[in-house]
């Protein structure tokens, strides 16, 4: 296949987006125009018009699939739209959004097994099980993703090094294939490991049965540290790797020389709870995030303040201030924090992504084997500094490999980097990402489609390998021979 160079696309207008006056959707005109909607990836940089359907039953999904075929349209699957790039949008496609598939079908506090429709969100899950002393085994940095979308990407959490990915906790799931057939998959089948991580390319996940994690308190014990360099970051990861439940560190990408790699590290453990019976921290009221920051600033205002700082100088200052505050106030201190506050820090600030408008932002996350991670991440940050394109928010985690076909994890570390996109920096940013890719590929690293906007088909071939891609193509051919399921990500990466 010839290589197709991909640029970070033109930014769309701000969200919520009004229906476009002149739609780009063309075709046989059989689908109702009132279904046309402009959908964006979470970073605003990918946007496409499609025909939006929100089915509420398996039969309705079958009807939508049949309708798409009849009209000669492809189908894109969408959950809560929290993937940053173009995985959940499909230009001119019929879009099946599963967010109305939201019933919890059964819950057994004795075993921790829950059976639900796939549009159930991570928030729905924890609200349902926490008072019984359970928590989802793996959560992302936001509680809004659906289980369908979370499994489509096979999300990881800050506990990936010890708990694996979400897919590792699934006992069974139902999937509607392109021909309308409903199949049930369990971890013993090869298809299970392809559909989970398969970015909506193989079938519609409609029901998920999984096991929740037993907890005795709604709080975590958190240790805050302020590493001053890359060496300190990595030695903390190594120290706590076998004796913690969660680890995450934020990195200041403006730190240079001996300050390179400095950041704010958090190690956390499940708390053992009170000495007797029910622990009040398990109540949802204890978890709910406050409406104000520090008791004064309404949360809804915060993104406007952030927007004022959302430039190179402002973010240099904010990153420095965050590091200094951690160093002076929190270094080495322990505190209790609710599971929700620790896990979903970004959900504290509603619409924080608006701070990146009008151009939006991309996230770039690479996963590098442990032996090479320090070298690769340090070089990635040097490249950013050389290009004057430092990431405004950078987060590092520890990972372990898994058996899923499109696994992104390795026995090593990931660095997730948020970059503001503007008209002026788009081409340079694309080049920066490609240069960073080369470092990752040379080190045997991998990438994650939930976060991607700039990979090329050749990058995917390089890290996936011919054998895994051939396996994917064979499965795709058998489950979806007409290539009904697609997305802008799949088109871009020729998958
Ligand atoms: C603030 C923030 C923090 C995040 N933190 C993390 C993190 O810590 N770890 C992590 O791993 N990810 C993280 N993410 C990414 C996010 O968890 C994933 O992108 C997740 O897939 C989003 O789920 P969704 O329901 O929004 O799905 P979408 O983004 O709408 O879709 C995701 C994929 O699933 C496919 N899909 C949708 N529905 C179905 C279906 N019914 N059957 C099969 N496939 C389907 C789609 O086609 C698409 O490819 C974060 C995202 C944000 C915005």
Which residues lie across from 251 on neighbouring strands? 263, 394
* Closest ligand 1 atom, residue 156 Cα: 11
Atom of ligand 1 nearest to the CA of 155: 11
Assigned token pair, 152 = 């489509």
Contact 8, 85 (CB under 8 A): no
> From CA 193, how far away is CA 468, in angstroms rounded?
12
| Preceding omega of 16 cis (within 30 degrees of 0) | yes
Is 367 touching ligand 1 by the criterion CB < 6 Å? no
Which residue owns the Cα nearest ligand 1 atom 44? 200
Residue 459's Cα: distance from chain center in Å?
Answer: 20
Query: CA Rg, the chain, in Å?
Result: 22
Q: Give every CB contact of residue 307 below 8 A, 6+ residues apart in sequence.
A: 354, 355, 357
The pLDDT value recorded for residue 29 is 52
Q: Which atom of ligand 1 is nearest to the CA of 82?
A: 26
Rounded Cα–Cα distance for residues 495 and 489 (Å): 8
Q: How far is the CA of 179 from the centre of ligand 1 (A)?
A: 24
pLDDT at 293 (0 to 100): 73
Nearest CA to ligand 1 atom 5: 141
Q: Whose CA is nearest to atom 9 of ligand 1?
A: 140
> Closest Cα to residue 63, out of 204, 195, 209?
204
Does residue 399's CB lie within 6 angstroms of at least one atom of ligand 1?
no
**Beta bridge pairs of residue 25:** none
**How far is the centre of ligand 1, averaged over its atoms, from the C-alpha of 274 (Å)?**
35
In angstroms, what is the span from residue 324 Cα to ligand 1's centroid?
A: 33
Q: CA 154 to CA 138: how far, in whole Å?
A: 10
* Binding site membership of 146 for ligand 1 (Cβ less than 6 Å): yes
Please check whether residue 37 is in contact with residue 19, taking contact to mean a CB–CB distance below 8 angstroms: yes
Could you give the count of Cα atoms lying within 13 Å of 68 in the half-sphere of its Cβ? 28
What pLDDT sits at residue 3? 42
Cβ neighbours for 67, distance < 8 A, ≥ 6 positions apart: 31, 94
Which stretches of the chain score pLDDT less than 70?
1-29, 275-277
Please state, in angstroms and rounded to a whole number, the distance separating the CA atoms of residues 332 and 267: 10
d(CA 406, CA 170): 17
450 Cβ closer than 6 Å to some ligand 1 atom: yes
Q: What is the pLDDT of residue 2?
A: 42
Residue closest via CA to ligand 1's atom 51 equals 82
| Protein residue whose Cα sits closest to atom 14 of ligand 1 | 140
Closest residue to atom 15 of ligand 1, CA basis: 83
| Protein residue with least CA distance to atom 19, ligand 1 | 83
Burial of 243 (0-12, 13-18, 19+ CB in 10 A): exposed
Query: Which residue owns the Cα nearest ligand 1 atom 7?
Result: 140
CA distance 68 to 28: 11
- pLDDT, position 14: 40
CB 152 near ligand 1, within 6 Å: yes
Query: Ligand 1 center to residue 145 CA distance, Å?
Result: 6
Handedness of CA 323, 241, 349, 308 (dihedral sign): positive
From the CB of 343, is ligand 1 less than 6 Å away? no
Residue 437 and residue 434: Cα distance in Å, rounded?
A: 5
Q: Pick the atom of ligand 1 nearest to 154's CA.
A: 11
Among 56, 165, 94, 124, which residue's Cα sits nearest to residue 405? 165
**Residue 261 in contact with residue 227, Cβ under 8 Å?**
yes
């Amino acid at each position: 296949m010839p290589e197709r160079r991909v640029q970070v696309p033109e930014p769309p207008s701000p969200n919520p987006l009004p229906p476009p006056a002149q739609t780009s959707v063309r075709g046989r005109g059989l689908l109702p125009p009132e279904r046309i909607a402009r959908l964006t990836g979470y970073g605003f940089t990918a946007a496409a018009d499609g025909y939006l359907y929100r089915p509420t039953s398996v039969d309705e999904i079958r009807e939508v699939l049949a309708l798409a075929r009849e009209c000669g349209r492809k189908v894109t699957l969408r959950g809560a739209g929290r993937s940053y790039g173009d995985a959940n949008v499909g230009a001119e496609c019929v879009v099946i959004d599963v967010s109305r598939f939201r019933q919890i079908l059964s819950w057994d506090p004795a075993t921790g097994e829950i059976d639900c429709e796939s549009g159930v969100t991570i928030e729905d899950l924890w609200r349902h099980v926490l008072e019984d002393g359970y928590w989802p085994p793996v959560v992302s940095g936001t509680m809004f993703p659906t289980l369908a979308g979370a499994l489509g990407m096979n999300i990881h959490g800050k506990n990936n090094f010890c708990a694996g990915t979400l897919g590792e906790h699934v006992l069974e799931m139902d999937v509607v294939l392109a021909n309308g057939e409903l199949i049930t998959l369990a971890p013993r089948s090869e298809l299970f490991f392809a559909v989970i991580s398969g970015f909506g390319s193989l079938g519609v996940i409609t029901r998920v049965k999984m096991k929740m994690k037993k907890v005795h308190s709604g709080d975590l014990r958190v240790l805050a540290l302020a590493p001053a360099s890359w060496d300190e970051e990595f030695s903390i990861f190594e120290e706590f790797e076998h004796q913690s439940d969660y680890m995450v560190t934020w990195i200041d990408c403006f730190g240079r020389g001996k300050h390179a790699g400095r950041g704010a590290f958090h190690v956390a453990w499940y708390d053992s709870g009170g000495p007797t019976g029910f622990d009040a921290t398990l109540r949802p009221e204890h978890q709910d995030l406050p409406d104000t920051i520090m008791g004064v600033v309404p949360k809804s205002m915060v993104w406007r303040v952030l927007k004022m700082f959302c430039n190179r100088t402002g973010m240099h200052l904010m990153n420095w201030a965050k590091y200094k505050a951690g160093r002076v106030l929190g270094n080495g201190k322990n505190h209790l924090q609710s599971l929700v506050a620790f896990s979903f820090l970004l959900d504290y600030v509603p619409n924080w992504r608006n701070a990146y408008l009008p151009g939006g932002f991309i996230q770039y996350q690479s996963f590098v084997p442990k032996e090479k991670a320090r070298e690769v991440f340090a070089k990635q940050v040097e490249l950013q500094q050389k290009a004057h394109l430092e990431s405004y928010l950078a987060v590092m985690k520890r990972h372990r490999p898994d058996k899923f076909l499109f696994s992104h994890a390795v026995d090593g570390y990931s660095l997730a980097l948020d970059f503001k996109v503007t008209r002026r920096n788009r081409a340079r940013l694309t080049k920066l990402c490609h240069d960073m890719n080369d470092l990752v590929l040379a080190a045997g690293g991998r990438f994650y489609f939930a976060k991607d906007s700039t990979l090329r088909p050749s990058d995917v071939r390089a890290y996936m390998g011919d054998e895994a891609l051939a396996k994917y193509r064979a499965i795709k051919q058998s489950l979806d021979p007409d290539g009904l399921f697609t997305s802008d990500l799949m088109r871009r990466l020729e998958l």
